Chains A and B, each alone.
Chain A
Amino acid sequence: NAGVMQNPRHLVRRRGQEARLRCSPMKGHSHVYWYRQLPEEGLKFMVYLQKENIIDESGMPKERFSAEFPKEGPSILRIQQVVRGDSAAYFCASSPPAGGTLETQYFGPGTRLTVL
């Protein structure tokens, strides 16, 4: 059973470009979470999604950031018009269907975004 997959592992963008980060959850998992980790800092929750639904986006910046988890295919975290401050590691995690409270999350290896 493959783990959570993220691609690309490394992404370089120039200021003003768009960044698209993909996350494929573990087989059988229908919940996806995105986190951001700035250098030398802890993980910061961004968004929690189920298939075709955003459950909690309280950690998402109000502008330029969006996330989706379509019925088919991976979850996508999209950052428009990237700025240098967006440079960070972005981690995705998935968990199986649950009763609504915190479930064990399994993390991917992360995508390291560098904005030049």
Chain B
Amino acid sequence: DAKTTQPTSMDCAEGRAANLPCNHSTISGNEYVYWYRQIHSQGPQYIIHGLKNNETNEMASLIITEDRKSSTLILPHATLRDTAVYYCIAHDDMRFGAGTRLTVKP
């Protein structure tokens, strides 16, 4: 199972793009990359997932490197409500790490 590494915390200015990196250098060929977020005290919320290709939905974009050893979650226009802990998961068994605490500042 691939282990993920994320920065502990990041800040972002409101209205700017938030780029959250994740390293998953031991990912295997059939393991997806999933991103979830947890807004204070609430249940985690699914954001996006991908295998090889970049993905985009109404919430975010996911950029996966060609070697699949890392990925970046992009929130194109961060708002104050995007302040949360963001979890990157790259294995089959849903082991959440500590995530990145993103703070969006006015």
| Residues of A that sit less than 8 Å from B by CB | 4, 33, 35, 41-45, 48, 56, 58, 89, 91, 93, 101-102, 104-110
Contact = CB atoms under 8 A, between A and B. Distances in A.
Contacts of B85: 42
Given A4-B43, A33-B94, A102-B31, 15 more contacts: A42-B85, A42-B87, A42-B97, A42-B99, A43-B87, A43-B96, A101-B92, A102-B91, A102-B93, A102-B94, A105-B36, A105-B94, A107-B43, A110-B41, A110-B42
Contacts of B44: 43, 91, 93, 105, 107
B24 interface: no
15 contacts: A35-B96, A41-B98, A42-B99, A43-B96, A58-B93, A91-B43, A101-B30, A102-B31, A102-B34, A102-B89, A105-B46, A107-B44, A107-B45, A110-B41, A110-B43
B32 A102 contact: yes
Interface in B74-97: 85, 87, 89, 91-97
Across the A-B interface, the 7 shortest Cβ-Cβ residue pairs: A107-B43, A43-B96, A42-B98, A107-B44, A42-B96, A109-B43, A102-B92
Interface residues of B, number: 25
B43 A45 contact: no
Given A45-B93, A45-B94, A101 B46 contact: no
B68 interface: no
A69 to B, nearest CB: 16
A89 B41 contact: yes
Contacts of A89: 41
A104 B43 contact: no
B93 A56 contact: yes
A98 B90 CA distance: 17
